[in-house]
Amino acid sequence: MNDIRPNQSIDLLKELHILTRDGQLNQDSKRKLKQVYHLFNFIEPLLKELDSKGGNFSLVDHGAGKSYLGFILYDLFFKERTKGEIYGIEWRDELIKKSIELAKKCDFERMHFLSMSVADSLEDKTLPPEIDIVTALHACNTATDDAIRFGLQKKAKYFVLVPCCQAEVASVLRKNKSPAMPALSEIWRHPLHTREFGSHLTNVLRCLMLEAHGYQVTVTELIGWEHSMKNELIIGKFNRDVNRKKAAEKLTNLLKEVGLDELSHRFFT
């Protein structure tokens, strides 16, 4: 099939219910596979760079869900190598159990699954002290922020984030329609704009947060992903030359200018 990569396991795609038992792709599954492949195109170069350095490497996928990304990454990249670990973090026990069973069935020995929230993973002692790549796809509300905090704690070399809804910033904006900044607060006067601007502003703050910790940040669009508010891809690569102080100043000033000082704890660690 033209939609499936030549080295992709057909049996795996059937187990993931991306393919039907007779090997067919329906429209929904075709879109889902295209999305994961599109994301794989961004992650593969990072894995190759890590692999070229000779040591072991690791990836933690937060809010893994059914672990489509983790399984396809393992099948296309990790399987042909003798090193590299993938950890799937997901709070729903039933999904973790199914993922463990599938990894065992596929002999994906270097796939590990932990049942916990993203926030709880910050305190977990079973995960390695350092992680190379942190991914979080549609980790809802503040879970993306927790994934960033996790990566900073684990000295991640890369972040690959597809942010989801985040109500915290919007709720504070809703309270701060201040007479002191009447022109600026027009941006979020209407409820719909509050939600949309809050989502956009949250991701801007996340990017500045990463830059303040020494990451070079790239923001791009994931083509073909449904939900217009969920197609933003943030990639962070640790770079010692990034001006952390300047980014931290911008972050502080932006929080102040839009009246979000009370959320400083979310974006400074």
Q: What is the mean pLDDT of residues 178-183?
A: 61
* Cα dihedral 56, 62, 66, 72 sign: negative
Check whether 178 has a pLDDT greater than 80. Answer: no
Check whether 148 has a pLDDT greater than 80. Answer: yes
Hey, what are 159's tokens? 């972040």
CA atoms within 13 A on the CB side of 95: 16
Predicted confidence (pLDDT) per residue in 40-74, tens digit: 999 999 999 999 998 899 999 998 888 999 999 99
Predicted confidence (pLDDT) per residue in 241-257, tens digit: 999 999 999 999 998 88
Predicted confidence (pLDDT) per residue in 89-135, tens digit: 999 999 999 999 999 999 999 999 999 988 899 899 889 999 999 99
Superfamily grouping for domain 26-267: Vaccinia Virus protein VP39 (3.40.50.150)
Q: Give the span between the Cα atoms of 172 and 91, in whole angstroms.
A: 27
The pLDDT assigned to 221 comes to 84
Which pairs with CB-CB distance under 8 Å and at least 24 residues apart come from 43-52?
A: 43/73, 43/133, 43/135, 43/160, 44/76, 44/77, 46/133, 46/157, 46/158, 46/160, 46/237, 47/73, 47/77, 47/84, 47/133, 50/132, 50/133, 50/157, 51/81, 51/83, 51/84
26 vs 70: which has the higher pLDDT: 70
Question: Which backbone phi and psi does 20 adopt, to 5 degrees?
Answer: -75, 170
If one counts every other C-beta atom within 10 angstroms of the C-beta of residue 101, the result is 12
Model pTM score: 0.90
Provide the b/e sequence for 49-75 (b: ≥16 CB within 10 Å). Answer: ebbeeeeebbbbbbbbbbbbbbbbbbb
* Conformation bin of residue 22: beta by default, left when phi > 0, alpha when psi is -120 to 50: alpha
Beta strands 232-238; 158-162: pairing state: antiparallel
30 vs 250: which has the higher pLDDT: 250
CA nearest to 12, candidates 59, 78, 62, 57: 78
Q: Give the span between the Cα atoms of 34 and 168, in whole angstroms.
A: 31
Let me know: does 258 contact 176? Beta carbons within 8 Å. Answer: yes
Domain ranges of the chain: 26-267
Q: Give the span between the Cα atoms of 69 and 61, in whole angstroms.
A: 8
Check whether 188 has a pLDDT greater than 70. Answer: yes
